[in-house]
Amino acid sequence: MGEIARRRLIVLDSLAALGFVLLPQVSVLRPAVGGDVATTTVWLSSAATALPLAVRRLLPVPVFAFVLTAACVALAAGLGPTPFLAAAYALYAVAVTWPRESRRSAVVVGGVSAAGAAVLTMTGGQHYEGGTLGVQLVFGLLVLGATWASGAAVRERREGVRRVVEQAAERAKVEERLRIAREIHDVVTHSVGLIAVKAGIANHVIAEHPEEAQEALTVIEDVSKRALRDLRATLKVLRRDPEDAQDLRPVLGLSDLPELVRTAEAAGVRVELRSRCPEEPPDGVALSAFRIVQEALTNVVKHAAPTRCRVHLVAEEGALTIEVADDGPGPGPRPIVPGGGLGLVGMRERATAHGGDLTAGPQDGGGFRVSATLPY
């Protein structure tokens, strides 16, 4: 709670305290006593029970104890049960801040209700003119019990809201960690996979065909530079530096697919790219589509190169459809590229994040096919 809001609440409590000072002077609540001494006693009792309420938010328990004691003294002096209203006002601040569990709150409320019922039983069946000490005590106990129950309910509701907020924050942290892991995985595995493939080729042909090894090293250099650039852009997104607000998101989308295709072709995959997008998908969907195609091409390079691959995208009627299919492993030896098996998991997570689905598996005629639908 801010300092200004706290001061305003204290001002409101001060006004309420002034109201409780004047409350016993209302004709319908005025105690049936007379004389100058009685009037002075009423004013003193009202002030003793009401003025401490101005600081009930600062010292809830001491204020309630003092006000309740003053109310009991006033009741014993024959000044009526009105001071118990001030005690109830002080009790509410205790109830909403009481640190114990709700079971103990129920015990307190039950004890107050039982005490009220016992007094009512002892005094019931008799007739009083204007009420007696027993009736007034029952009134005070019932008011305090109802106040405690209300405050405990408010406290439990606030605790429930706090728990929901904490759970939402924890879920957000988990989702953020997963998002970071996906971004780093997509950038690193794609680039490192291509580098591993070309490095294996260079190592295999360097003795007999140095020109092919030189070409492979050139590809490794280009892919390494591009990987560093993508990692730098991803880290800028994660840092969210206000001074670099213009570079908060790497510009990756459907327009970047040709560059992705050129990288795959440098690793020995002949890619046929077709894109039909009469509608422009949102940036988030376009980025997820780019990552899905990137991971699918990485898998083709790692497990099937050299081979042919088809990448088809269609964006219409509020959905972006992606299909990446290859013809299967080509002839000749291929370098073994280790992988963590998280590529398909990451692709499915990206599709699910947009309410879509993804299927992946071998084709009947050979090869592997990845198909995804991202609604927007």
Q: Give the confidence band of 120 by pLDDT, cuts at 50, 70, 90.
A: very low
Short-list 264, 262, 253, CA closest to 290: 253
Q: Please indicate, yes or no, if residue 115 is contained in any of the structural domains.
A: yes
Instruction: Indicate which CATH number applies to the domain containing 279.
Output: 3.30.565.10
SS (H, E, C) 215-250: HHHHHHHHHHHHHHHHHHHHHHHHHCCHHHHHHCCC
Answer whether residue 247 shows pLDDT above 70: no
Q: Give the confidence band of 332 by pLDDT, cuts at 50, 70, 90.
A: low
**Residues 6 or more apart from 279 whose CB is under 8 A from it?**
315, 316, 317, 318
Domain termination site, one of 167, 197, 214: 167
φ and ψ of 229, to 5 deg: -65, -45
Domain termination site, one of 109, 138, 167: 167
C-alpha to C-alpha distance for 175 and 44, rounded to whole angstroms: 61
Predicted pLDDT of residue 314: 92
Number of structural domains, the chain? 2
Are the C-beta atoms of residues 87 and 68 closer than 8 Å to each other?
A: yes
Give yes or no: residues 145 and 35 share one domain.
yes
Q: Please indicate, yes or no, if residue 47 is contained in any of the structural domains.
A: yes
Answer whether residue 324 shows pLDDT above 90: yes
Q: Please indicate, yes or no, if residue 245 is contained in any of the structural domains.
A: no
Q: Please indicate, yes or no, if residue 210 is contained in any of the structural domains.
A: no
Domain termination site, one of 167, 194, 221: 167
Q: Please indicate, yes or no, if residue 73 is contained in any of the structural domains.
A: yes
Q: Give the confidence band of 219 by pLDDT, cuts at 50, 70, 90.
A: confident
Give yes or no: residues 156 and 293 share one domain.
no
Answer whether residue 322 shows pLDDT above 90: yes
Angle of CA points 261, 263, 265, to nearest 5° = 70
Q: Please indicate, yes or no, if residue 256 is contained in any of the structural domains.
A: no
Give yes or no: residues 163 and 271 share one domain.
no
Which range of residues forms the domain containing residue 367? 266-376
C-alpha to C-alpha distance for 118 and 15, rounded to whole angstroms: 36
> Tell me: the pLDDT tens digits for 87-103?
888 898 888 887 655 44
Give yes or no: residues 32 and 143 share one domain.
yes
Q: Please indicate, yes or no, if residue 206 is contained in any of the structural domains.
A: no
Q: What percent of the chain has pLDDT over 70?
A: 72
Q: Please indicate, yes or no, if residue 225 is contained in any of the structural domains.
A: no
C-alpha to C-alpha distance for 46 and 70, rounded to whole angstroms: 9
Q: Is the dihedral of CA 262, 267, 272, 275 positive or negative?
A: negative
